[in-house]
Structure 1
């Protein structure tokens, strides 16, 4: 949610700021703005897309060598130009902010008492006035920012400039991601590495409580206690090409079709090492040796990946496994178990609820922590003892696709490793599971080849208001994922249920206007699923069945069938995720919604 970019350079930075904000659009936003410093602070803000703000900046001939930019996802205050960032205090200081300040009301009243006037409803303007207040005392932007952030409660990433210090930008973070990009004679800040790739690949990831002093001369980083510290410089391997559409119409379409390669890349280390603790880091052998249960914490699509893994962990590794929404886990009294493995799953590695759930688990003394993540050096992996990085590459579309399927690979690798450590995976069975992994990208490609058939279904879905998704056992989480994809990008209300639950309530919803999607692989529950289908048909419901090639389903009136490739056993959820992704994408196309940037949603959720 929200995006920050900033620059200090000897050249005009307006183009860089606008380009950076465009690369951050995927994070979700409803307004955008930039502020630059020449002889004075000049600002342009607009509700709507970055392109509208860009046009306004060009019309006003905005230029400057120091500047900050922001895409805002509304929290405090509505979607108005006055609430858009950057915020300016007394014409002298401009600031952008990601996150939520929990004590903003008390600070607002205090600052009003000191004579400050507020022009917005945001918590962000409080920070701008607070820094300005301390600047009047110290006349030093670094010192003023350090004093101000000590009084903030909540999460923030901020960048601030002052007209009296034209070659300087101060950045600070607590709970929200922020990095510094290092250039030759110029330096940058951003909430995501994609925003600085056009200028540099060398970045410093700021730690919790860090404040960075960014200037033409260099970068100094100070910790929460005010001591100057050295932070490692990382060279990003994210390519600009991965941020471009290429021949595709949308990033979601591109990312759906990138899955065979993403899966093959994620599977590669498993093929090399087998199911080994080495996959999860140098400390993993000791940490995983005596695991007696698994607790998975995640949100959204990552939560559904965890639900799938529960079936694997219990059936293959023989360990109790629970899966919980991270935002719920962190607010209940959990019972600590030193032999429980805590697994956090996050595409971005910055999901606030998941990060806070991990902190809570660690506060209970849970030392066995593993992160599954797609973004190296992000906050959640850094806070975990072990990590498995998926190799999905940059995922821009808000609706997760390749990140989800590669998370399933990581969880399958974890399952195999735990099973092996528990003596439940002999050489023959391991070889069979590895062979299934090796063949999986080809099965996924075969599923992608079904796109024309799925597109025909999607055109039937577009005029509908509601849909049901059904699955059983290992495929119930894929039904959940299919329903989520459909509602988040097409805005068709969709719900998923275990097929056996139909007669316990949801069957009352079924009529000729309610399409019902069924995930029906050729597994032990197939006959049960067929019975559930008959229940729906008897009530006039129209069925859309994703079956395996060997499931022996036949089409009939009101029953449409698409056959995915042959049943691939335990990895079948990965294959069956593909057609439900395609269904949602083409239904959204048919409805004319914004596929990559659905309303009200953000890619990286860094606020509660």
Structure 2
């Protein structure tokens, strides 16, 4: 959500800024802009179109400079419009871009208006620009430090001043920012991926850091009780995936990422010969032996991964498990358990609500923390004692696919590790599970071969306005994930329920115009599920069933069946979610929506 790139160099940095924005497009945005120091003045270009249009605009207007900042915005305060797009100026002296939300912007706005500042936008960001200007007395670094002391909320900012060429100042609090160290030039960005191909020397700024970038030098100060103190942060070599944004033969990134799942799951499980706590980091065994429960914190698709893991953890590891939506957990009274393992799940590792929930749990005395995350250098990994890094690779499509299945793979490993430490996993069971996990890439390839049959279904779904998804037990969260995918990218209203809940309300929705998607593995609940399906048929509902081969569910009038290649026991959710992803994808294609960048949504939710 939102992207920042800034640079100080001795070359024209506009192409670098624009290319950085292109690399961050996958996060989602509704406007973009760039500003530079050019001929002793501030110049900018802004657009509510794609970055490609901004690129053409800066070329046509000959916007060039050695110092500058750029931004992709996802609207929070103020509608998507050019006057609300970043960068924002203050008195043609200060230029600023911002990720996050400033909670006390109304109070600051009133104060700045009283000083004579005129506001051209409805954004909270313009408040920061004017605040920095009001505190500026010739030293931009000092002005930004003083301004951040007045801000309440979350922010990542980059700012430069007309009167100080070759200087950019960045700061962060609750929103990720990195410093890129170059040769005679320096960069700041909200994601290291924005700097791929420019520098691989990355410093991850910590909470409260303010960084001063100049030609060939930089320094960082951290907020402390007595003010700000000079600090050193480690420089890491980060090889961003410069080729990750290549579509290849696929129509959309989402389709590409669905078909990358056999590779992604295989990579996530690569090299695992035995189940040991060490897979999750140094000291994991001692932590695992000392816990008596698990608390999972996550949002969106990651929450459904956690909900699936609850079934595994309680049935295989036999450990009590709670799953909380991160944004709700931190705002309610809960009963903390210092002996609980707090598990966060996040694709980006920068999800603001999940990081805040993690800090809240720690504040309640829950110190045993572990994350399942796709980015090894993320804030989530740095905040947790233990981690399992999935190897999904960069996920461009806003609707998560391969990140979800690799999260499930990591959570299943966690389940087995906890079961082993607790004496609940026999050597025979361990060998059986390891064999099944190694076979997952092949099994996933077989599921992907169902795409032509699913495409045929999608033509019918594209005509609908509503859909119902049903699952039982371990597959209820998979039904939830299927409904989420359909609504995210096709804009069809979709809901999911445990199939046993039909008679408790949802059955009232069922008629001939309501497609009912059913996840039907051959497990202990299959006979119950068949009864639920008959309840749908009796009301004239149209069933679309993904059934294991040995469930004996046959196609007939009103019941459409696609057979899964094989039953996969506890790991079945990893297979059954894939056809639901394909159904959502091809339905969206049939409806002509923007699959990779669905309206109103962002890839990485870095604000509350």
Query: TM-score higher than 0.5 here?
Result: yes
- SS of aligned partner of 1:82: helix
Q: Are positions 1:70 and 2:107 aligned together? A: no
CA offsets 1:357-401 (integer angstroms, 9 cap, x no match): 000000001011111110112111111111111110101100000
Alpha-carbon separation, structure 2, partners of 1:556 and 1:219: 70
Contact between 1:28 and 1:603, CA under 8 Å: does it hold in 2? yes
CA offsets 1:90-145 (integer angstroms, 9 cap, x no match): 0011000000000111111111111211111111111101111111x3x1011110
Alpha-carbon separation, structure 2, partners of 1:242 and 1:551: 40
Alpha-carbon separation, structure 2, partners of 1:319 and 1:56: 58
Q: Are positions 1:327 and 2:327 aligned together? A: yes
Q: Are positions 1:252 and 2:254 aligned together? A: yes
Q: Are positions 1:127 and 2:134 aligned together? A: no
Task: Note the aligned Cα RMSD (angstroms).
Answer: 0.9
CA offsets 1:501-531 (integer angstroms, 9 cap, x no match): 1111111111111111000011111111111
**Aligned match of 2:473:** 473
Contact between 1:131 and 1:144, CA under 8 Å: does it hold in 2? yes
Where in structure 2 are there 5+ consecutive unaligned residues? none
CA offsets 1:437-482 (integer angstroms, 9 cap, x no match): 1111111111011111111111110010000000000000000000
- TM-score under structure 1 length normalisation: 0.98
Contact between 1:263 and 1:441, CA under 8 Å: does it hold in 2? yes
CA drift at 1:52 = 2.3
Q: How many residues align?
A: 604
**Aligned match of 2:222:** 223
CA drift at 1:550 = 2.0
Alpha-carbon separation, structure 2, partners of 1:529 and 1:193: 47
**Segments of 4+ moved more than 3 angstroms:** none
**Aligned match of 1:194:** 193
CA drift at 1:189 = 1.1
Alpha-carbon separation, structure 1, partners of 2:217 and 2:335: 47
CA drift at 1:328 = 0.6
**Aligned match of 1:169:** 168
**Aligned match of 2:104:** 103
CA drift at 1:59 = 1.7
- SS of aligned partner of 1:119: coil
Alpha-carbon separation, structure 1, partners of 2:187 and 2:209: 16
**Aligned match of 2:443:** 443
CA drift at 1:157 = 0.2
- SS of aligned partner of 1:268: coil
Alpha-carbon separation, structure 2, partners of 1:238 and 1:558: 49
CA offsets 1:293-326 (integer angstroms, 9 cap, x no match): 1110100000000000000000001111110100
**Aligned match of 1:540:** 540
- SS of aligned partner of 2:219: strand
Contact between 1:350 and 1:379, CA under 8 Å: does it hold in 2? yes
Contact between 1:339 and 1:368, CA under 8 Å: does it hold in 2? yes
Contact between 1:298 and 1:326, CA under 8 Å: does it hold in 2? yes
Q: Are positions 1:581 and 2:581 aligned together? A: yes
CA drift at 1:6 = 1.0
**Aligned match of 1:496:** 496
**Aligned match of 2:456:** 456
**Aligned match of 1:205:** 204
Q: Which of 242, 245, 249 is the aligned partner of 2:244?
A: 242
CA offsets 1:406-425 (integer angstroms, 9 cap, x no match): 00011101100111111111
**Aligned match of 1:282:** 282
Contact between 2:172 and 2:209, CA under 8 Å: does it hold in 1? yes
CA offsets 1:73-104 (integer angstroms, 9 cap, x no match): 11111111111100001001100000000011
Equivalent residues in 2 for 1:15-54, closer than 5 Å = 15-38=15-38, 39-54=40-55
Contact between 2:285 and 2:421, CA under 8 Å: does it hold in 1? no
- SS of aligned partner of 1:242: coil
- SS of aligned partner of 1:212: strand
- TM-score under structure 2 length normalisation: 0.98
Alpha-carbon separation, structure 2, partners of 1:279 and 1:169: 41
